[in-house]
Structures are given as C-alpha cells and as structure tokens.
C-alpha cells in the first residue's frame, strides 16, 4: 500500500518546497556576489574619476580660485561616495552573504530532518502493511494445504471406512492442518485490527504532529531569511534620489507580508489524506472452511492456548511501553530544567532546543499510540475469550464437510459418509453425515465434445454473440505447442496481457512443489483457475471432465458456460503468445560463459536459424518475486533498438528454466577488456568507448528509461570495439523512480548521492554513474575509490571529495567527469550534451 493515500502527497510537496527553496537561496547568494563585484567596480571607477579630476597642471596658479575650490569639493564628495559604496559592499559580503551561507546549511539540515522524521513515523505503518500482505499469503498457503489434507482424508475414508492405521495417519495430518489454519486465521484477524489502529494513529496523530513541527521550523526559518533580506535592502540603499527612494520603498513594501502562516494550511487542504481501510478478505474463507468467520477470532480447543499466550505477551509489551514513556518524560523534564538554567545565562540556541523538544514530543506520541494499539488488540482477545465457556470449548475442526462428488460409481450414489474429529478430551466426538451429491448431468454439447477427442485439430469457432480470432486446438500435440499456452509466464506478465473482458490464456505454475495448470481470465478483474485432475486422470473445472486440457478449454469456450458459478467468468478471446515468447526447445545451449544474479549465462544457438546467441537462465528454485525481476530486463529490452544497446531476441517461458535470449557480443565485459588491453589502449579508442556509451544512454534518456546500474562491468564490447550497454535488471521505465525496497544490491560507489540518501533516481542519476564509468575507462579498469569501504567512500563524497584524474587523462575529459559529479543533479549535463562534447573532443 505505501503512502499513496497516507500523506505521501503532502510529504512530497514539503520536500519539493525544501529543495526549491535551497536552490532559491543558492541563486540569491550568486546574485548578491555578482552585485558586490559590480558595485566594487563602480566604486573603483568613481575613485578613478575623482583622481583624474584633481590631476591639474599648474595647480599653484589656482590657489584662491573659487572655481577650483568648488570643483575640488565636488571631486572629494565623489571620492566619499566611492568609499561609502565600497564600505556597504564589504558589509554585504562579510555579514549578509555569510548569513545566507549559514542559512543554506541550516535549510539542508531541516530538509534532512524532515526526511528522517517522516521515515521514523511512517516505518511502523510500512511494517504492518507488509505484514498484512505476508500473513494473507501465509493464510492462502495454509488454506491450500488444509484442503489437500481434507480431500485426502475424504478419499481414504471412502476406501477404508472408519478403521485402519492409514486412515488414522491421514486423519491426524488433516487435524494438524486444521489447527494451523485456525491459528493463522487468528493471527490475521489480530494483525488487521492492529494495522487499522496503526494507520489511524499515523493519519490522525503522528503525521499531523510531524506537520506541525515542520510548520514551526519553516516559520522560524522564514523569519530568519526575511531579516537577512531586510538588512540587504538597507545596504543596497545607496542614494537619496527620488528614483532610489521609490525603488527602496517598493523593495521594502515587497518584503512586507513575505511570511504566510497559512502556507501549511493550504498544503494540508489541497493534499488531504484519505484513510486506508484494512479489511478481512472474505474470499479466504468462502470455500467451506468450517466455523471461521471474517474479522472474528476462532476460540476453540485448537487455539485457546495460543490466545492465552498472546494475551500474556501483549500485557508484558504494554508494561514495557509504559516504562519507556515514563523514562522519556523524566529525561525530558531533566533536560528542560538544565535548558532553563542555560537560557538564563544565554548559553544555548533556542531554535535548536525547540526542535529537540518537538522530537521528544513525537517519540512520546508514538509510544502512546503503540500502547493504545496493543490495548485495542488485547481487548479483542479478552472479549472473544469471555464469550466462550472454557469448560465446554468447541471443537476446532468442521462440524460438517461439503458434499463429495462421486461419479461413475453407482453403489456410493445414495450412501452417506461420516468423519470423526478430535476434541480436547475425547478422540471421536462428532459424527458428521453428509449425503453425496448426485452425479452431475452432462450437457448434450459436452457429450459431443467428449466424443470428438479425435486425432485431428479442432477449431474454436467464433459465435455470433462475440468476435474472436479463429483458434486451433490439437489434442494430439503437447500442450506447450498451443499458441494460447504461455508456459511459466509470471502472474504479473499475464495480468498485463489480459486487458478486455473474456480474454484468457493458459499457463503453468508451481505451488507447494507441485506443478499445476492455470486458466487465467480477465473478468471483473483477473481470475485464475487451477485445472482439477480427476481420479481417472481427466481434467475439469466444475463441469464435465476431458481426456486432455485442450478439449477442456475448447468445451469451456464453445459452450459459453461459466468456468465456476462463483466467478461467473466466460471465455471469449484467447490471447496468443507474443512474438518474443520463444519455445525453450528452439534454443540449444552450447557452453556456459558466465554467471548472473539469477542464474548461469550460456553461449547458445537458435535451432531454426543457427544464429549464435547469449542466454541468461533463471534458477528454478528462485521465488516468484525474483523470477518477475529476472523477466523485467527482457520486458524493457524488447522495445529498444539502438546499436549501442544489447538487442533482445526473445524470452523462453514455455517451461523451466526461464531464459532471456540476447544477441551474442563476442568481446565480453568492457571491464575485462580494459584490464587485458591496458598497455595498448589509445586516447582515441577510449574516447570512442565513452561516445558509444553516451549515445546509448542518450537514447535511453529519450525513452524515459533509468538504467540504475551503469558501470564497465555491465557494458559489452563487440566487433570493431563497439560498446553496447547491457544488464537492465535494475532499470525502470520512468522519468523519476523512488526506490522502496531499501539499499539491497545498490552499487554504492557508482550511485549518485541523492539516490543513496533519498532513494530518488532519474536520468541525471545515471549521469553520475557515467562519470564513474569514464574514470574506469581512462584508468583502464581500475576500481573507483580503491582502498575505501562503501561507507567511507560515501562519507568522503558528502564532504566534497572527488576521484582524481587518471594518469594521462586530458583536462577537458576530467572537467566533464567533474560536471557529472556535481552534488546538485540540476548542475549535471544531460546525455545529449555529454555526447556532443565527446564528439567534439574526438573531432579535435
């Protein structure tokens, strides 16, 4: 969920305001320095005029002349005016500009403190948002396992009756799964309640307090800034002439009212946050999971001990939270007493101490909110326990089981089944009797389709009610050859392909180490149906079963019947594989040539064209999230066509392992090439490398693609030493990207300060990395910041340190590197400027 509806807009506006004001102060400082220089030059010119005016031949002859006396006084006043101007400019430079430099430092601190404070108060909401999502996933996983155990129990019960060791084993596994499901249910319910309280406190208490603190700091800062402007205005009043008086009056009037206390109120009104609603996903328990109810704790023999333990843990946590609050209050009182003594002696800065007090206030509010949140959850547990008599605890397992469909077996049609469940004190307490459903009638169209399982391809015919492409189903060929089968394409990619109501495709997934075939349909959102396998190895959803999946999909399409009654989904239009989705069998792996973040890299051949290619593979054991990141590189590359960017040929997702097929760049890594050929590299060759990369990055910048990992190790060198940009695993197709998953796998020494500090990336962030890449090229493969740890290098950069020019680097090239490493992104050149400058250097 994040902060999209929880103050993100307000926080972004405040941060943007800070950044803009910092730039404004820098412009102000530059302008005043220029003003000082101009006025000094003017004062020097006036003084020169006065000197020339008094440099007169035969001056002795003018003694006693009234004309000379008047002229001399005029020239002396002119010199006095020159001195006055110079004096005021010295004051302006030594006092006001220094104050501006100090206030600039203070403004940067305020901006950083704003980021830090907001991160602290938002971290708990982030944590609970993630935990809710994880717990829901865990719930789903346990729910699937519970259903498997339950189905297995039903099958063994039908086969063996009420006795037998095997039945006992299956019953025990089923009851364990049931117990764990109930526990997870309770954890999920409590977590939702707690997350709701955390979100409410963040939105109604912590975030308003944070904004109030920021507003107070902003007002104080504005007053300081305004006082500097007033002093500057006085120093710039150089004359009493009407024109200057009028300008001065306008300047003074313009300064009035520069402070607006309604500034934050306007932001709050415009970007008011709406609450996040945490609700129990009722789809989790709609599928016959016994007594579990949404947003209600399950209190039974399976959960009572856990609930009691949870209650004790919460009470202990509340006690610790109260103690921490008391310590903080005592510490704050002691500091306030010391502060009052120091204030009397004028030994402290009031502004800084006020901010410290505001931070303590925010911490106290956070602790109080935590205590109240825990109290809320504790009340829910106590209330649920009070409603149940502990001497007569209900059984945790279902009181009844859903009907079991039995087809093709006449003797079971009118029989009943019973299941026994363990109670806390008795082995078998409840006998549940549920009649079997009668055998489902098959439609005439079903019978026709079932009989049509011939050896010839079957066409999916377009009906008059909808318009679709003519499709072909071939029951005799493997499923992965069907154009509407997309193999192990991840769910996120599937959702991107299914855009219109009724669009569908078939794919493969793995759950609990078991391969399953899934029908994905766009219908009131996106629905995913697992193809069920019957005892006789046929396939079905809720209707009749078929000998193969192709005939099942054909039936579902032609009949126009819903896939399941609950979903209401109808198949209208099959989505074929995209042209870049290759078959794994089309690629012949030849030899391993490297290792990537997700798996091995191979030299390979395309069977049809015999073209040599490079293939990145993804380990089968990686989680779905990692596979999604692996495929992201292919999704980005498929739309790019530039001689300095490695070309995508296709992606293989028909079966494991997933593969990305790219053009083979024979020269390999640019970094290894630089190191191997260090002795023979020439200046022109290195400039061409820089030109190739800047051309590729200029193209990416025009496509709003941020590479985020530009380095020599991620560039390849091909025929005629042309350089191609590769490895787009971290890339993003956005004008600006803000990282949300921490600093994992970030290349610290290649990454710009604003990305490391605030997680903000854009094309100017890549420009910083390009400067480091230029250093790698001209140092012939040296490691940047050699001998420094990542943290030390980062610290030195913040202090203003920059890499020295590699030996033999032309001055113009090093100056370009330094431009790329400007601390402010706005001061860095764009890639079109870089490419033009390097082209100019090459031509010279």
**Short-list 824, 843, 758, 749, CA closest to 794:** 749
- Catalytic option among 39, 446, 709, 727: 709
In a domain, 262, yes or no: yes
In a domain, 120, yes or no: yes
Of the candidate ranges 118-132, 277-291, 398-412, 711-725, the one whose mean pLDDT is the lowest:
398-412
In a domain, 58, yes or no: yes
Identify whether residues 647 and 754 lie together within a single domain: no
Please, is 354 exposed, middle or buried when counting C-beta atoms within 10 Å of its C-beta (0-12, 13-18, 19+)? Answer: middle
3-state class percentages of the chain: helix first, strand second, coil last, to nearest 5: 55, 10, 35
In a domain, 1, yes or no: no
What CATH number corresponds to the domain at position 468?
3.30.505.10
What CATH number corresponds to the domain at position 646?
3.30.200.20
Task: Answer with the one of 663, 688, 722 that is the final residue of a domain.
Answer: 663
Band (802; pLDDT cuts 50, 70, 90): very high
In a domain, 396, yes or no: no
What CATH number corresponds to the domain at position 244?
1.20.1270.60
Ligand-binding annotation for 595, yes or no, is yes
* pLDDT digit string, tens, across residues 599-632: 888 989 988 888 888 998 888 777 777 777 777 7
Identify whether residues 725 and 653 lie together within a single domain: no
Identify whether residues 617 and 502 lie together within a single domain: no
**Short-list 112, 118, 111, CA closest to 10:** 118
pLDDT of 9 over the 80 cut? no
Q: Characterise 139 by phi-psi region: left (phi > 0), alpha (psi -120 to 50), beta (else).
A: alpha
* CB-based contact 693:662 (threshold 8 Å): no
Average pLDDT of the chain, as a whole number:
77
DSSP three-state, residue 588: strand
Band (396; pLDDT cuts 50, 70, 90): low
Active-site residue, 709 included: yes
Phi, psi of 591 (to 5 degrees): -150, 150
* pLDDT digit string, tens, across residues 477-496: 788 778 888 887 777 778 88
Q: What is the pLDDT of residue 814?
A: 95
Identify whether residues 631 and 779 lie together within a single domain: no
Task: Answer with the one of 634, 663, 692 that is the final residue of a domain.
Answer: 663
More confident residue, 589 or 453: 589
Identify whether residues 779 and 757 lie together within a single domain: yes
In a domain, 401, yes or no: no
pLDDT of 644 over the 60 cut? yes
Identify whether residues 496 and 628 lie together within a single domain: no
Identify whether residues 560 and 693 lie together within a single domain: no
More confident residue, 387 or 690: 690
Identify whether residues 615 and 751 lie together within a single domain: no
**Strand 612-617 to 600-606 pairing:** antiparallel
Identify whether residues 634 and 679 lie together within a single domain: no
Domain interval for residue 104: 8-379
Task: Answer with the one of 663, 688, 710 that is the final residue of a domain.
Answer: 663
What CATH number corresponds to the domain at position 705?
1.10.510.10
Domain count, the chain: 5
Band (438; pLDDT cuts 50, 70, 90): very low
pLDDT of 3 over the 90 cut? no
Mean pLDDT of 208-232: 79
In a domain, 710, yes or no: yes
More confident residue, 423 or 542: 542
In a domain, 397, yes or no: no
For the record, the structure tokens of 476 come out as 């005799």
Angle at 194 between CA 191 and CA 196, to 5 degrees: 110
Ligand-binding annotation for 594, yes or no, is yes
* pLDDT digit string, tens, across residues 504-516: 999 988 776 678 8
Identify whether residues 484 and 597 lie together within a single domain: no
Identify whether residues 186 and 244 lie together within a single domain: yes
Ligand-binding annotation for 593, yes or no, is yes
Q: What is the pLDDT of residue 521?
A: 95
Identify whether residues 723 and 757 lie together within a single domain: yes
């Amino acid at each position: 969920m994040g902060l999209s509806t929880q103050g993100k807009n307000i926080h972004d506006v405040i941060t943007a305001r800070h950044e803009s004001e910092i730039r404004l102060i820098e412009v102000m400082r530059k302008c005043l320095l220029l003003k000082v220089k101009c006025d000094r030059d003017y004062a020097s010119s006036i003084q020169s005029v006065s000197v020339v005016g008094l440099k007169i031949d035969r001056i002795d002859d003018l003694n006693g002349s009234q004309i000379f006396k008047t002229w001399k006084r005029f020239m002396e006043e002119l010199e006095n005016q020159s001195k006055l101007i110079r004096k005021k400019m010295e004051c302006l430079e030594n006092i006001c500009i220094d104050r501006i430099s100090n206030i600039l430092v203070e403004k940067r601190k305020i901006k950083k403190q704003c980021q830090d404070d907001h991160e602290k108060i938002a971290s708990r909401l982030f944590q609970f948002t993630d935990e809710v999502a994880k717990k829901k996933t865990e719930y789903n996983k346990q729910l699937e396992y519970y259903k498997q155990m339950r189905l297995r129990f039903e099958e063994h019960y039908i086969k063996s009756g009420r006795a037998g060791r095997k039945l006992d084993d299956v019953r025990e596994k089923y009851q364990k799964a049931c117990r764990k499901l109930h526990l997870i249910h309770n954890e999920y319910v409590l977590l939702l309640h707690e997350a709701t309280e955390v979100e409410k406190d963040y939105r109604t208490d912590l975030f308003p307090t944070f904004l109030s603190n920021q507003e107070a700091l902003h007002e104080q800062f504005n007053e300081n800034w305004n006082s500097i402007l007033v002093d500057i205005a006085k120093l710039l009043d150089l004359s009493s002439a009407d024109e200057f008086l009028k300008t001065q009056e306008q300047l003074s009037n313009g300064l009035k009212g520069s402070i607006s206390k309604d500034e934050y109120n306007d932001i709050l009104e415009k970007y008011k946050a709406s609450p996040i609603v945490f609700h129990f996903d009722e789809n989790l328990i709609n599928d016959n999971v016994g007594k579990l109810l949404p947003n209600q704790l399950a209190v039974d023999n399976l959960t009572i001990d856990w609930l009691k333990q949870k209650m004790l843990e919460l009470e202990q946590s509340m006690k610790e939270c109260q103690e921490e609050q008391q310590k903080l209050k005592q510490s704050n009182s002691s500091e306030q007493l010391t502060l009052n003594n120091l204030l009397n002696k004028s030994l402290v800065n009031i502004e800084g101490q006020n901010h410290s007090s505001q931070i303590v206030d925010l911490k106290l509010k956070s602790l109080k909110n935590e205590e109240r949140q825990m109290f809320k959850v504790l009340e829910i547990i106590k209330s649920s326990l009070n409603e149940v008599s502990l001497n007569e605890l209900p059984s945790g397992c279902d009181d009844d089981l859903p009907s079991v469909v039995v087809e093709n077996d006449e003797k079971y049609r009118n029989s009943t089944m019973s299941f026994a469940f363990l109670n806390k004190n008795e082995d078998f307490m409840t006998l549940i009797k549920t009649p079997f459903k009668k055998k489902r009638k098959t439609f005439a169209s079903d019978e026709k389709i079932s009989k049509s399982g011939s050896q010839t391809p079957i066409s999916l015919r377009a009906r008059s009610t909808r318009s679709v492409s003519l499709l072909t189903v071939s029951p005799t060929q493997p499923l992965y050859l069907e154009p509407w089968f997309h193999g192990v394409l991840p769910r996120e990619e599937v959702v991107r392909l299914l855009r219109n109501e009724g669009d569908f495709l078939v794919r493969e997934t793995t759950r609990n180490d078991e391969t399953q075939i899934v029908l994905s349909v766009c219908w009131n959102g996106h629905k995913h149906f697992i193809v069920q396998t019957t005892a006789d190895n046929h396939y079905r959803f809720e209707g009749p079963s078929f000998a193969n999946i192709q005939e099942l999909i054909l039936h579902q399409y032609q009949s126009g019947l819903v896939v399941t009654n609950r979903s209401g989904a109808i198949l209208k239009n099959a989505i074929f594989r995209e042209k870049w989705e290759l078959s794994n069998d089309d690629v012949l792996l030849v030899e391993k040539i490297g290792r990537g973040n997700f798996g091995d890299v191979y030299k390979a051949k395309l069977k049809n064209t015999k073209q040599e290619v490079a293939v990145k593979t993804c380990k089968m054991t990686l989680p779905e999230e990692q596979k999604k990141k692996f495929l992201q590189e292919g999704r980005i590359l498929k739309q790019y066509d530039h001689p300095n960017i490695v070309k995508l040929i296709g992606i293989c997702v028909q079966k494991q392992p997933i593969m990305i097929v790219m053009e083979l760049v024979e020269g390999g890594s640019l970094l290894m090439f630089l190191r191997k050929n260090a002795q023979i590299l020439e200046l022109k060759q290195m400039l061409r490398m820089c030109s190739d990369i800047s051309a590729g990055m200029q193209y990416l910048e025009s496509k709003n693609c941020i590479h985020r990992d530009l380095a020599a190790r991620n560039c390849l060198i091909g025929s005629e030493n042309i350089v191609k940009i590769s490895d787009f695993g971290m890339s993003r197709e956005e004008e600006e990207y803000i990282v949300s998953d921490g600093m994992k796998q970030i290349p610290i020494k290649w990454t710009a300060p604003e990305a490391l500090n605030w997680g903000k990336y854009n094309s100017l962030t890549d420009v910083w990395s390009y400067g480091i890449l230029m250093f790698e090229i001209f140092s012939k493969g040296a490691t940047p910041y050699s001998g420094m740890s990542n943290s030390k290098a980062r610290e030195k950069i913040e202090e203003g340190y920059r890499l020295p020019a590699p030996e033999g680097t032309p001055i113009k090239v090093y100056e370009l590197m330094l431009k790329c490493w400007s601390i402010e992104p706005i001061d860095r050149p764009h890639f079109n400027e870089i490419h033009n400058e390097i082209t100019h250097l090459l031509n010279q």
